[in-house]
Structure 1
Amino acid sequence: MYSAAFNEGWRQRLGPEYEDFIQALKKRTGQGLRVNTLKLKPEEFLRISPFPLKEVPWCPEGWVILEGEERAGRHPFHAAGLYYLQDPSTMAAAGLLNPQPGEWVLDLCAAPGGKASHLAARMENKGVLVANEVNPRRASVLAFNLERLGVTNAIILNERPETLAARWAGLFDRVLVDAPCSGEAILARDPGAFRAWSRSLLQRFARRQLNLLHQAACLVRPGGWLLYATCTFSPEENEGVIARFLKARPDFVLVDPPRHPLFAPGRPDWIEGGDPSLRWAVRLWPHLGPGHGHFYALLKRQGEGYLDRPRNRSHISPEAERLYEEFCRENLKEIPATEGLLEEGGRIYQVPLPPEMWRGLKVVRPGWWLGRVYKGCFQPDHALALGIKAEKALRVRDLSLDSAELKAYLRGEFLEEAPADRLAGQSLYKGRLYRSKYQSETLEGNKGKEWVLVTVEGFPLGWARAGGGGLKSLYPRHFRAAWG
């Protein structure tokens, strides 16, 4: 199946492990599922999981689906952002980089969003996450995924790394570079990558990766951390790139991270003149553990530096702020975002970075999209629904997994109300109603026009609008086709 050069190269390197390695590459691995801890704890998900699961050894929130993986991407829990489908090998990145709440973190090659959303979860949505993707189409997918997963501390960019390095030198506490590579870990599942593989291709990727790593290094503050990752096995793209980088940047050192028993060492013996410290890199092999395989190298920039980062102030008109706060008082128990508000073209965001820091860059989304001002009213965005907990809403319509109304809502259809639903000053729960002690007195005068948070088994799915004897689904049109 593989080329003679590929087979012979790996037979020489791996020796008796070669046959197991090749068979693992050809074998279909189980789909990985990472519980989104911004929504719930892993043990809570286990109690409601629609699938039998097996744990990923190096990631406490990571699992492998044992049965029913074909349904995982079209399950209502997926739409609610309770989990992200992710190869187990890639789940090691967040643990190795180890971002802390309140830090400034950059994912330089972030699409489709698995590692970026994992970083946000480890940060508990606190601090600054810059998720950058150079490909415009993939940047849009990145934005959708971060929205679905309830990430609220991210700015999403579509910029060249060189531009960011020139603009934000030494700004970040931690930087992740998930570098484009030859993809040897997925050759059997990617016919295009399989046909393109050659030794010259490895060299071309290595040159590109080294340049990308140098750009990323410029963005790390003294004392900060840089994680280099690929989904390939070739030493040219892994140990070779790290060795050349360290020779050019003596202010960086390779760090031996905390090791899981399945974290195999780097292989300095596979490159010419390889320094023994390259053993501190991490290799994940498909024949030794779950997942397709990965390479990681954790680097630390020497020195220490205090960064006097600018304070983030709000940039919103008094009228827009009034309408936003009025909506929150009438529909939520508290105002979810009060600082760093930005009004941009009628849209209101909470932005993690001051606008003066990113003006002139290609911004896909500057922050958490709260809603927009339209015809003298504030209309909440889908991202606001997915970024709050159900208990923060005054009116909730909770639908069970086996409910016909659930599919109707996801298809954008009108939901009929039970007669009791027409009572004023009540909140909906499990198709019934419960009275909220936080109910706003002003809602009486807005009867039939209230915003309702629709949830599945208690987890937000999106908004609906009460009126006409029922609920009008406001589930985004571009997501409805999946439920047709």
Structure 2
Amino acid sequence: DECGEYALSPLPWYPGNLAWHLNLSRKQLRKNPALESFHEFLKHESEVGNVTRQEAVSMVPPLFLNVQAGHHILDMCAAPGSKTFQLLEMIHQSKEPGLLPTALVIANDLKVQRCDVLIHNTKRMCTANLIVTNHEAQSFPSCSLAKDDSEAYKDHCKPQRLEFDRVLCDVPCSGDGTLRKSHDLWRKWSSSMGNEFHLLQVNIAMRGIALLKVGGRMVYSTCSMNPVENEAVVAELLRRSGSSVELLDVSTELRELVRRPGLGTWKVNDRGSWFQTHEDVPDSRKNVILPSMFPSSTSIHESHKVWHFK
């Protein structure tokens, strides 16, 4: 009763009531004597893999992948691993009762140290359906599959190229969407921070598209609110890919999730100056401020539905 105001409540948009929210900070959870047994319960369940602590907004991108049994899934920038763990939960839930899943999750990250964290955070799942790799996401290598390598090479059969049914492209970003909790970010943040990530984000996402099966689905996500890192990247992906890629309207999925349409127009900041078009950028900066950072002549907001989630 003393802690009634902190009662657990399910996130209404998460399927199956599998995600719950507790309105307590870690400090409150540790220091409140009335919550000691509950805190110990959470620690134990986390250690054995039954419970994972995760930001609610971080749970959203994997849900839109619509993972199915038997899917091959690539998490391109996976560390620290909360979304990877979520994907592993999905493939184990989608299997037939009594059978091991046939799906595969490949979780990749650029830095070895982050891969160590990724392995530590996912080993609680005790699954054989996870491979952790250490590559630049924008240069992730093509992989091959063979049911039996020895037979494949004996018969001079070329192994089948591994194409992914689902790709999660949660790219490096300026992180300005985390300002509410990352107080140190206020000291170094500027409105032009996203510019340095834009080309990397495009290249990573383009590689993700190249690794995707025909008919597959890729989810692109950031923890930024900057349109240069979001709408501009999506527009550039569509421009480069032409008719081979379609932007999917997911407004009918997770209906309880609060969302709003993406931006159709925006300006780009560079060194304290705002520019409406690439033509307005000084010649000396046009190799840094790219045309793809600006809204296209045919706005993606007009021709497609792009959504921001809260």
TM-score normalised according to structure 1 size = 0.45
Report the AA paired with residue 222 of structure 2.
T
Alignment map for 1:1-12 (pairs within 5 Å): none
Query: Match for residue 194 of structure 1?
Result: 186
Letter in 2 for 1:219: L
Distance 1:53 1:87 in 2: 15
Distance in structure 2 (CA, Å) of the matches to 1:278 and 1:52:
44
* Pair 1:116-2:84 in alignment: yes
1-side partners of 2:102 and 2:136: how far apart?
A: 26
Task: Pick closer, same or farther for the CA change 1:145–1:277 going to 2, 3 Å.
Answer: farther
In the alignment of these two chains, the number of paired residues is: 235
C-alpha distance in structure 1 between counterparts of 2:102 and 2:261, whole Å? 33
Larger Rg: 1
Match of 1:66 in 2: 23
The residue number in structure 1 matching 2:167 is 175
**Aligned residue runs from structure 1 range 216-235, under 5 A:** 216-235=208-227
- Among 97, 107, 128, which residue is 2:75 paired with? 107
Q: Deviation at 1:152?
A: 3.1
Give the Cα–Cα distance (whole angstroms) in 2 for the partners of residues 88 and 80 of structure 1: 21
Q: What is the CA deviation profile of residues 69-118 of structure 1, one whole-angstrom value per residue up to 9, with x for unaligned ones?
A: 44459721111111111111111122200111111110001111111111
Contact 1:181 1:205 (8 Å CA) reproduced: yes
Q: Kindly indicate whether residue 12 of structure 2 is the aligned counterpart of residue 57 of structure 1.
A: yes
Distance 1:278 1:151 in 2: 42
Q: 1 or 2, which has the higher strand percentage?
A: 1
Q: Gapped runs of 5+ residues in structure 2? A: 1-5, 31-38, 93-100, 145-160, 267-293
SS at match of 1:75: helix
Tell me if the contact between 2:247 and 2:304 (Cα under 8 Å) persists in the aligned partners.
Answer: no
Question: Which residue pairs with 2:129 in the alignment?
Answer: 153
Pick one of 130, 138, 158 that aligns with 2:114.
138
* RMSD (Å), alpha carbons: 2.3
- 1:318 is aligned to none
Asked if the contact 2:62–2:83 (Cα under 8 Å) also holds between the matched residues in 1, the reply is yes
Give distance in 2, aligned partners of 1:180 and 1:162. Answer: 11
Structure 1 263/57 Cα, relative in aligned 2: closer, same or farther at 3 Å?
Answer: farther
Of structures 1 and 2, the one with the larger relative CO (CA 8 A, separation 6+) is 2
1:140–1:163: structure 2 CA closer, same or farther, 3 Å change rule?
A: same
Cross-structure match for 1:400: none
Give the C-alpha shift of residue 63 in structure 1. Answer: 1.3
In structure 1, stretches of 5+ residues that fail to align are 1-50, 286-484
SS of the aligned residue for 1:142 comes to helix
User: Shift of the alpha carbon at 1:57?
Assistant: 2.2
Shift of 1:200: 3.1
- Return the offset for 1:210: 0.8
| CA displacement 1:265-295 (0-9 Å, x = unmatched) | 222234634223576233123xxxxxxxxxx
CA change 1:151–1:201 in 2 (3 A) is: same
Give the residue type in structure 2 aligned to 1:83.
Answer: V
Cα pair 2:110 2:136 within 8 Å, conserved:
yes
CA shift at 1:192, angstroms? 4.4
Distance in 1 (CA, whole Å) between partners of 2:125 and 2:7 is 22
Aligned 8 A contact 1:102 1:126 in 2: yes
CA distance in structure 2 between the partners assigned to 1:204 and 1:167 by the alignment: 30
Q: Map of 1:27-106 to 2, 5 A cutoff?
A: 52-60=7-15, 61-67=18-24, 69=26, 70-71=29-30, 75-106=43-74
Aligned match of 1:215 = 207
1:243 is aligned with what amino acid? A
Question: How many Å apart are 1:199 and its aligned residue?
Answer: 3.2
What is the distance in 1 between the residues matched to 2:184 and 2:45? 32
- Measure, in 1, the Cα distance between the counterparts of 2:180 and 2:106: 32
Q: Secondary structure at the residue paired with 1:86?
A: coil
Q: Is the Cα–Cα contact under 8 Å of residues 109 and 133 in structure 2 kept in the other structure? A: yes
Q: Which amino acid aligns with 1:263?
A: R
**Counterpart code for 1:220:** L
Aligned 8 A contact 1:267 1:279 in 2: no
Corresponding residue to 2:249 among 253, 256, 267? 256
Residue 240 of structure 1: which of 232, 235, 241 is its match?
232
**Could you tell me how far 1:205 is from its partner in structure 2?**
1.1
